[in-house]
Every structure is written in structure tokens, then in C-alpha cells.
Structure 1
Amino acid sequence: MKLLLLLTSALMAMATTPSLASLSLSLSQTESLRAIKDLTSTFAQLSQSRDYPAMAALFSPSGILHFGNTSITGTQKITSFLKGNINSTLDTLIFATPLINLAADGRSGRGRYNSWRFQGDGKGATKLQGGIYENEYHLMNTTKDDAKGEWKVEVMRYYPLYEGNYEDGWRNYGGRDFGAVPPFHYTPDEAGLPVLPGGEIVETREEGMEELTSRIEVLNDEDEVKNLQHAYGYYLDRRMWTDVEDLLGDGAGAGGGWGGVFTVNNVGSWSGKGGVRKALERWMGPEGLKQGVLNEHLIFNTIVSVRGSGGSGEIIADSRGIEVALIGDRATSRAEWRIGFFQNSFVKRNGTWQFFNITIAPLVVANYSTGWGKGGTFPKSTITPQLLAYSRMHTITPSPTFPSNTTTNLTELERRIRRSAAYDGAENISNAYGFYIDFIDGAGCFNMSAIHHTLGHKESPFTGFYQTQKRVLDACTASYGNSSIQSRSSISFHWRPQPVILISSDGRSASLRARLLQPATARGNNSAQIRGGMYHDQMVLDASGIWRLWSVTIDEFYWNSGNWGTGWNGVTPRAANVSNPGPRDLTKQFPPDLILTGMGERERGFQGGTGRFTAWPDIQKMWFMYRNPVSGREPGGQYNGYWPGCVPCQHRPEWRMEKFGWEEPPTGPVMW
């Protein structure tokens, strides 16, 4: 098997020489995938401005909004339905964990999302909603001779799964058990194929070398900036202020002359020597965590726009997204929601992207005990949201042949397109995992295992690692059986938002770090819960061109709410004399290939691992699979550690992807 994989890798490396036409097609497909994601994120961002007519305008003329059993058509009716019966002063709609498939002809696509919607009217009325969207998209207004077009929503289909008000929290939609799983628009194989095969390929005009190069560079830059934005959020979580300073380059530290501005609306603006740290300490507190301190900054719906050179000739980019912060300090009985948006700018210097300006715009800051129903405790935002362009389609104009139109340069451009396409492939297969295990049963076990490579491995929570696709399946069915569950009273969801995705130089493998955000719901009142952990995964492109999971590690849980009423501050610390939880039955019924206690220091404090079990509100060590994306600094300190690449492979080196012909992805600043 190993020899076969190595031969396959060699054959793939000898692929036919690309042409301008093939590069143009691959580029347009990747741009379309990004346009669909950005269109959906724009829809979410517009909700924070309560611009319901603009949201409705993102539908095609024949577009339909399905909400449960209700169907709405027409711009005015969709506008009215989106506004609803709450005259919202807060309306934050989130589309998380996209899994997108583009049709072979490039003119339509489908997407699956997890969703939250938080509303309040400032007078006491609130509404919480959670569910799954299955959407369809069409590319409008295109002709054979003119590639200018715009993606629109053709069908937005919402499956409500839980809802409630702030006072009581959410519970199962309608207070009843769950029946059928919201249908998947994809098979396990299609989850790893962002661009579906087959069908008639639409003829397109051939761009010149210079234009292709420019557009490919934009995609590559977007990947780096999005990673930078998401990594910044994780440093905020842990109050890693030195690493945040690093993200703004050499001038941001105490001895530097950083030229940007860090703004927290209605709090202040900081610049110059030490300005970043002053801003962070003023808004979030001192560096580092201690027992009962929660500083989670959940980032959703990030859009990145690369806008070319600034006045200095440096390349500039912008990001915009939604932030939901969960703030707590058990020692002072402080617990808050901070919900708003961010809009930041970046600059590329010496080949590396770094932050320049950071703007945090809180729309509501609310005590956990009272919520946002009456508007919270913070002044109204004075920052005007700047929407970034979501449509990447443009009119193709003839461009002169680039002087270096050689086979070598065409091959290099193909490699760079593959790397950006790999970003979407890795994100797809990551989110497929979460969607499949949300409704885990015999069918869920089959689908979940099918998205793993035949030689891949996966951690079963609190137990250990199982190697090979078959062992992953057997471990799952040993826990959940082979049958489908027709009805269930509760669900713990497995969102995987805010990915940092590191791609190998050849675009055939990836490392991904994503948040485990686990909203849970049941039938009864006060049953809503939220928990948080981290995923450390690797993916590979198999011999058939499908992305598969190679390695899955779950670090859980770093924090949790005991129940909705008391929140994350209401969790009582474990007494010193309480024993560790016992091992899962699975450990004896179906022993893993690598038990968690065999992981030594890496699993210290986690349930099922070594040492004393560390449970919230105590602070568990958090592991990073990458170095600082600007400075290359390794994570450190009492509660942060560095563990690159495949997590179990330091104990099972024979599981490393390099043994089977794939490259190990980078772990730090990337030079394309």
C-alpha cells in the first residue's frame, strides 16, 4: 500500500503541462467558491446593520427563502420576513462552517452552514435561534463573450433546530424531539470535492499571463490574511499580548514606532510605542489567564479584500467580520457578552502579511445575568460599517502576453492555484466532519469514517487514536451502534469555525486548527449549554483527487457553561480530593491503537490523559500547531504549548503523512 501511494504521488507530479486555458478555468472555479462564501457572509454582516432590503437584494429575482415549512418569494416579502416581529436594535446573524460545492459548469453552487441569530429590541424582548441552512446559488447575467456576472442566492433553506429567548435560553425547536437529519446536499466523497466533476464546461475567454498572475496572487494573499485574522482571535482568547504585538510587525512592541492605530469604539484609540499592548490591557485585561478568566473571541464570516498598493507601494488588504466575545472573571463575578464587528487593515512587507490598523466595534456589551434585551451597558456604536466587495467576477479584457510565458511559469502558477484551492478543500472536509457527528448514529458513523483517508487516524474523545478508516468506523459503531436513530431528545453540535489552514508547497496536504464550538440543546427549559475546545487536523488529497482527513485530534473542553442560567461563571471548581473521571467503556471494549495516556505531556490534564484532570474554571494548557505567522515565535508560557503537525505522530512516527508521499505543511510564516 505504501509503495502504491508513493507511485501515485510520483505520477501526480508528472501531470500534463498546464495551459493558459486550464489555469483560467481553475482560477475561475476557485474565485466562484470564494464569491459564494463572501456573498453569504455579506448577508450575515448586513443583518448587524439591520439593512433587510439589502439582504433581500442578494436573492435572485426568482429567489426563495424557506423557513421551516414557510416559503417566501419576492424582494419585499423577503425583506419583511427577515425583519420579523422584533424591532431589533441588535440583530446578529451568523453563518458558520461553510461546506460549498460548485457545479462543474461553474454557474451554480450549494452550501451548508450552521447558524445562530441573536436579536433584541432594547426594550426587553429577545430572540435566540439556531439551526442549519442548505442554500443554492446561481451566477447571474453572464454571456459566452462576457464573463461579468454576479452570484445570487437562488434558494435559502433554513432548518430550525433550537430557539428561545434570552431569559430562558434556547431549547429544541417546538419543544419536541428531533426527527430526520436536515438533508445533506453532498455525499462523503463530494464533501472533499469543492468543484464537482462531470457536466459541460462553459467556454470562457482566455486571459493573458499577466492578468492570471495578478488574480492568483490575490487568492494567495487572501489565504494568508484570513489565517492572520483567525490566528489573532486565538491569541486574544489566551491573552497572548506579545504574540498579538508580533502580528503588527517589528514596530508594534515596546521599543518600536508602529504606524497603525488600534481602536476600540467608545473606549479609545492607541498608536505609537506600546500602543497595541495599552489597547489590549485597557479593553481585555493583563497578559495571561488565571482561574475563572474567560476571554473567548469567536470570529465568524470573515471577508478579506486585497486592494493593491498603498501610497508607499506596499500591498494593502482589509478584513471585515463578526465577533462574539464571551468574557468572564469568576473572582470578580463579572460575565459579559460583547457582540459586534471588526474591520482591520493589513500590509505586506518583505513578503509577509501583518496587521496595520485594528478596529473593534462593539454593538452591544451586556451583563450575562441580564442579557441584551434592554440594550446592554455600552454606548451606541459610532463606527460606520464598511462592506467589502463579495463579487469577484469581472469583465475580461485582452491583456498583452506576459514576457515570461514559459512552461516553467505556467507550472508555477498552477501550483499556486492548487494551494488556494487546497484551502477550500481543507475547510470543506473539516466542516463535513462536524456536520456528520452532530447527528451521530450508525449512518453518521459510516459517513464520518468515509471522509477519512484509508490510512488516516482519529482520536475518539477521552479514549485514544484509531488508525485506518476501518478502525475509525469500528470504534464509532462500537459506541453508537450500526442503526439509524429515528428520534433524539438532545444534540450537542460540533461547529468548527475560525480555521487557520496551512497548505503544503505542492497543494496536496494541509494542517488545520479550528475552534470546537459546541452549542447543546434539549427539550427542557434551561437546557442550553455552550462548550469550547480545539481541533488539530491534517488533510490530504487522495489519488482520486478527493480531500480526506488524515489526522484528527480533539482537545476538549477548555471552558463550558454549566447551564444557561448561570453561564460560564457558574461552574464550580473541582475539589482537590475528587478523583479523575474513569475511562470510557470504549477503552476496554475496543482498545485504541494509541491510548491517550500514552501521549504523555501532550494530553496532560485532558480527560482520559495523563496527570490530574483540569476542568474549567481551572485553566488547561492550550496547544498550537503553528508558530506566530509573522514573527515565527513559538507559543510559550505556563498555559500555552507548541506541538507541530500530526499530534500523535511524535509517538507514532509511522503515521506521518511524509511516510506515504505527502509533504508536511509549514508551521510558520509562509513564502509562496
Structure 2
Amino acid sequence: GQLNETMVLQPVVNLSADGTSAFGRWRIFAMRGLHGASASWHEAAVHAEYVFEGEWKIARQWIEERVAVPCEGSWGRNPLDMLKTLPDPAFPPDGEAAPIGPQAGLPLPLLAPYAVPAGSLADRLGAAVDVEHLICHFGYLNDIRAWDDVAALFSAGGLLAYGPRGGYRGQDKIRAVLHTFGSPGLRANEIANRMQVQPIVHVSADGKEAAVRTRSIMQLNASGKPLFGDAVNEFRLVRDAGRWRIASLSILPTFLSDLDRGIVGGLLPLPGAGRDPVPDLPPQMTDPEPLAAFLPPFHYAHPVTGAPMGRIAGSAASGAAADSRMPGWQVEAGEDGELARLADTRALETLQRTYGYLVDKALWRDATDLFAEDGTLEIGGR
């Protein structure tokens, strides 16, 4: 009768130069309870140091449990338990409502150039890791509304497009629109998590561009209400002087709801464009109804058929063409064995995570095409 579901998500892992130690940051999202007695939500940041002793082992781990609340009232009406296992001056003393700043020791993504030929499989695989780290880092900065730091991740002419509101170009305008989502920093009993999960990463053949699709799980509170939502993010990134930056980001929300009322009676309208700042591009999503039919376009082709994915009647993004500059993770004959295994792992991640995005929108034909001719599917023993 006990529940202790603990999801470990959103990794940023940095290895030492000699390959004998590493440092990582992760996110825990957990549901815990005892049948008939208790039920609670938990969210935490995990910091870990690793050591290689023939196998990788955890040398030191500490957990900052930032949310520990009963399911009833969840993170809307219950005080958030800001439990600290290590002293951190970025957190305010108990009872104060001072803003919470960025965490000390947050590992930055590895953005150094690789000592391998540009555009080679090794270069593209390394770039995929760095890009994924950058996206996870983006998520952690969003958690604490570190808007200046978020804007700095964009290229000088970068674009932030929020589906119902429009597109905003340039770091200054991106920074201004981010501020409309709340004042920088968090105050006591405030939560603004936007978890970045289910990444699908592609790197261009020349290693200079990348594209990433993620799912953003939103855990927010406002006016005593616990809010829960989901969005699909499509990132485009460019390598600028050896460093990756976000060239464009499309945030395409699926829903936002009052958690207490659920999606049956608690769906909330998605915010439209405000008066300031004025968007440079029109909104991608024009139907204000919650859960309106909309297919966030895929930056890549179907991993098996190579065809564009998605066809929803009336959808504004049906069958959008994939970016031909973003090849899959196919391995050439004679490629190094270890690199081939890493590329195959990326290809399998793309395959399985694509299944999730296709099921989201009931794209059954595209989902079926992921299976082998004699493949099988078993759901819950049926």
C-alpha cells in the first residue's frame, strides 16, 4: 500500500578533464503516500559528485527538497517546505520574503570546442550532449525566474515565440517579455517550475546548428491556486565562437489548469498578447479555447519512414516539413564502434520519445510506423 514514485530528470553532468570524477545536477519529481493514510507531492534539486573506481559511483550527494506538500491543496494552499541540507546564502532566512537567487555551484554546460573534426560523428555526438545540457540549464534558470540569465542564453538576434502571444526578437525584447511572466526571483511559498523532459536532439551535418524538442511540465502557483500545465518547446541553436546559443525558441502550451479542479473543470485560458512589448511576429496559436487542436511542428522527419509527421484536421501546423539540415543518427559503415553505440543510443531515444509525442496527438498512423512489420504492442496485459 505504499507509494514512493521518484522520477530523476533534467541532468546536467560535467566530467573532469582526466575522466576520473564528475559533478551533476538533477531534478527529483516525486509522488509519495500510504494507502488510506497520506499522499504528498515532492520536488527537489539533486547535486552529486561522482568518482570513477572501475565503475562510476556516487562520492557525495545532497538533496535540496524544495516542495513537500500534501496532495490536498498541493502547492497552492500549503506552505512550501524549503528544506535545506546545506547552507546557501542565496536562500532567505526562515520567515523572510526575500527573493531567492541562482544556486551557488550550478554547473554550467560544457561548451568548449572538441578536438575532433567539425561535423564528424564524434563532434555531433559531443554537441548533442552540450546542447541538451544547455536546455536543462535553461530550465533551472526558468525555475527561479533568472530572466537576465535566460535572455543571455539567446543569440544577439534570437527569437522567443510564445504560441498564444507572438514572437519577440533580440535579447532586449526577449528579456522584456520574460519579465511579463513574473518578477525575477522567487518569494516565500512561491513555485515556478518548468521542467524540461523528453528531449529529442539533432545536430546539423556541419556541426554548427542544432534543434531540440522538449516537453515542459509546469508546476506553478498563483493567488493560492496550484497550477499544473504542459507545453512543447522547439529550440533551434547555433554554435557561435565555440559556444552554443539559442537562435529561436517556440513555446507551444498544451494546457494550463487549476490542479485542484483538474482538466474536467479547471482548464484555464492561455494568455494572449499583451500591450507591452509588442510582438514582432504573429502568434502561432490563435484558438483561445483550452486544449484546442494544435500540432506543434516537428523539426525532424519520421525516424522510420523519413516523411513529415502529423495530420490533424483543422490544425494550424498539420504535416509541417522537417528541417533537412538536421540528419538522424545513422552510422556509416566502418565507424568507430564506441561512437556507433552512442549514435545508436541517440537514435533509439529519438524513436521512443517520438512515440510519446505522437500518442499525445493521437497520430496513430505515424505511431504505428515506428514498429517493425511483425512488431507487437502490449498495454497493461491486454
Q: Taking structure 2 as the reference length, what is the TM-score of the superposition?
A: 0.70
Distance 1:522 1:477, change over 3 A: closer
1:614 is matched with 289
Distance 1:154 1:528, change over 3 A: farther
- Once the two structures are superposed, residues 501-542 of structure 1 have per-residue CA deviations (whole angstroms, 9 ceiling, x without a partner) of 112123332111110110124695xx3331011001111222
Q: Secondary structure at the match of 1:559?
A: strand
Q: Secondary structure at the match of 1:499?
A: strand
2:380 is matched with none
1:665 is matched with 326
Contact 2:47/2:62 (CA < 8 Å) preserved in 1? yes
1:495 is matched with 195
2:208 is matched with 508
Q: Secondary structure at the match of 1:155?
A: strand
Matched, 1:532 2:230: yes
1:439 aligned partner, one-letter code: I
Selected match of 1:154 from 26, 34, 59: 59
Q: Counterparts of 2:289 and 2:42 in 1: how far apart (Å)?
A: 32
2:109 is matched with 191
- Once the two structures are superposed, residues 399-451 of structure 1 have per-residue CA deviations (whole angstroms, 9 ceiling, x without a partner) of xxxxxxxxxxx959x811111111111111111111112211xxx12211222
Matches within 5 A, 1:127-146: 127-139=40-52, 141=53
For structure 2, the 5+ residue unaligned runs are 83-94, 333-382
Contact 2:258/2:268 (CA < 8 Å) preserved in 1? no
Matches within 5 A, 1:4-153: 89-139=2-52, 141=53, 149-153=54-58
2:266 aligned partner, one-letter code: V
Matches within 5 A, 1:245-644: 415-440=120-145, 444-460=146-162, 462-476=164-178, 485=185, 487-521=187-221, 524=224, 527-543=225-241, 545-556=242-253, 558-564=254-260, 566-571=261-266, 583-586=273-276, 590-592=277-279, 594-597=280-283, 603=284, 606=285, 610=286, 612-616=287-291, 618-634=292-308, 635-638=310-313, 639=315, 641-644=318-321
Q: Counterparts of 1:492 and 1:529 in 2: how far apart (Å)?
A: 10
Contact 1:131/1:161 (CA < 8 Å) preserved in 2? yes
Contact 1:456/1:467 (CA < 8 Å) preserved in 2? yes
Quick check: which has more Rg, 1 or 2?
1
Deviation for aligned residue 1:570: 2.5
1:625 aligned partner, one-letter code: H
Q: Counterparts of 2:192 and 2:268 in 1: how far apart (Å)?
A: 23
What is the number of equivalent residue pairs in this alignment? 313
Q: Counterparts of 1:130 and 1:479 in 2: how far apart (Å)?
A: 21
Contact 1:511/1:645 (CA < 8 Å) preserved in 2? no
Matches within 5 A, 1:170-181: 170=75, 171-174=78-81, 179-181=99-101
Q: Counterparts of 2:19 and 2:303 in 1: how far apart (Å)?
A: 33
When you count helix as a share of all residues, which structure comes out higher? 1
2:318 aligned partner, one-letter code: G
Contact 1:445/1:473 (CA < 8 Å) preserved in 2? yes
Contact 2:66/2:80 (CA < 8 Å) preserved in 1? yes
Distance 1:439 1:631, change over 3 A: same
- Once the two structures are superposed, residues 624-657 of structure 1 have per-residue CA deviations (whole angstroms, 9 ceiling, x without a partner) of 22221111232213256233568xxxxxxxxxxx
Distance 1:172 1:191, change over 3 A: farther
Higher relative contact order (CA 8 A, sep 6+): 1
Distance 1:503 1:568, change over 3 A: same
Q: Secondary structure at the match of 1:623?
A: coil
Q: Taking structure 1 as the reference length, what is the TM-score of the superposition?
A: 0.42
Q: Counterparts of 2:117 and 2:272 in 1: how far apart (Å)?
A: 55
1:507 aligned partner, one-letter code: G
Deviation for aligned residue 1:182: 5.6
Q: Counterparts of 2:20 and 2:156 in 1: how far apart (Å)?
A: 33
- Once the two structures are superposed, residues 133-174 of structure 1 have per-residue CA deviations (whole angstroms, 9 ceiling, x without a partner) of 2222222x3xxxxxxx22222222222221222344244423
Q: Counterparts of 1:532 and 1:178 in 2: how far apart (Å)?
A: 29
Q: Counterparts of 2:244 and 2:329 in 1: how far apart (Å)?
A: 24
Contact 2:7/2:29 (CA < 8 Å) preserved in 1? yes
Distance 1:523 1:96, change over 3 A: farther
For structure 1, the 5+ residue unaligned runs are 1-87, 142-148, 198-409, 575-579, 598-602, 647-662
Contact 2:196/2:216 (CA < 8 Å) preserved in 1? yes
Q: Counterparts of 1:102 and 1:508 in 2: how far apart (Å)?
A: 23
Distance 1:151 1:169, change over 3 A: same
Q: Secondary structure at the match of 2:259?
A: coil
Distance 1:181 1:136, change over 3 A: farther
Q: Counterparts of 1:121 and 1:553 in 2: how far apart (Å)?
A: 40
Q: Secondary structure at the match of 1:428?
A: helix
The percent identity for this pair of structures is 20
- Once the two structures are superposed, residues 101-144 of structure 1 have per-residue CA deviations (whole angstroms, 9 ceiling, x without a partner) of 222232222222222111233343323211222222222x3xxx
Q: Counterparts of 1:434 and 1:128 in 2: how far apart (Å)?
A: 20
